Amino acid sequence: MAQFNLGDKALSAGYRLTGFDTIGSTNSEALAAAAAGDFGGHWFASLHQSAGRGRRGREWFNPSGNLAASLLIIPDAEPGQIATLGFVAGVAIASALDGILPQGVVKTESHSENFGEQVALKWPNDVLAGGSKLCGILLEACKTPSGQTAVVVGCGVNVVAAPQGVPYATASLAGLGYVRSAEDVLAALSDAWAGAFAIWDDGRGTAAVLEKWRQSAAGIGGPITVQQDGAVRRGIFETIDSTGRLIMRDDDGARITITAGDVHFGATASARS
């Protein structure tokens, strides 16, 4: 039986929690709550999902014992700022893992060059461990009965097992030698989110959040390949800009702004999705 609890900071900030052993999708549950008039600040967490989903409609595999968690919020922010909530989630996940894993496992300094051996954030919405996918983030939105924009921030963390049969390398905390429970991760994540969301401050603190994201980011300053609408671009990952777009410089020296795409590291990186 799942025994999820929120951290003390999250409880003090007024967040609520509904936990499950298994569910179709925590994101779907949160969206349904928003449509029914839930006022937000509500976590939905499960040890297993039977119908999880990822970015661009892809399936998200959730073996039992991993963490599927979705937070329903109703931010008072402009649409352009709402889009940066994925970076808030990335910062929160990095902070949460930094708090429950040994020191140095999570990349926390922008000048660190060993991201391939660390837990690091991958643009736009993944978390890597040893270069393999440890966690995914999915934002979805809907309207509340009163016409407000509700946002669901979904986080899937491979705690006890890494999904198999997917077209990318995967990792789990257990596979890396860290014995933690989904309940441990949620408690840490709920507190870390409360802190990161307070910094974001309905979009007014976006710059501070993006700077924290850069400090834990994988690959800045190194070669990347971006697959975008069937085209493949290669160059150097320079930074992310003030709105979270990826900035790369191609082999001809041109500076290119990327708003969406699949990123792979290394000069000869595969362009598989």
Question: pLDDT per position in the chain (273 positions), as tens?
Answer: 779 999 999 999 999 999 999 999 999 999 999 999 999 999 999 999 886 655 545 555 667 899 999 999 999 999 889 999 999 999 999 999 999 999 999 998 876 666 667 999 999 999 999 999 999 999 999 999 999 999 999 999 999 999 887 878 999 999 999 999 999 999 999 999 999 999 999 999 999 999 999 999 999 999 999 988 888 999 999 999 999 999 999 988 899 999 999 999 874 444 343
Q: What is the pLDDT of residue 251?
A: 85
Residue 6 tokens, joined: 């929120």
Q: What is the pLDDT of residue 50?
A: 86
Residue of 89, 97, 207, 91 lying closest to 140 (CA atoms): 89
Q: What is the pLDDT of residue 134?
A: 97
Q: What is the pLDDT of residue 168?
A: 84
CA distance 124 to 144: 27
Q: Residue 2, Cβ neighbours under 10 Å: how many? A: 17
Q: What is the pLDDT of residue 58?
A: 58
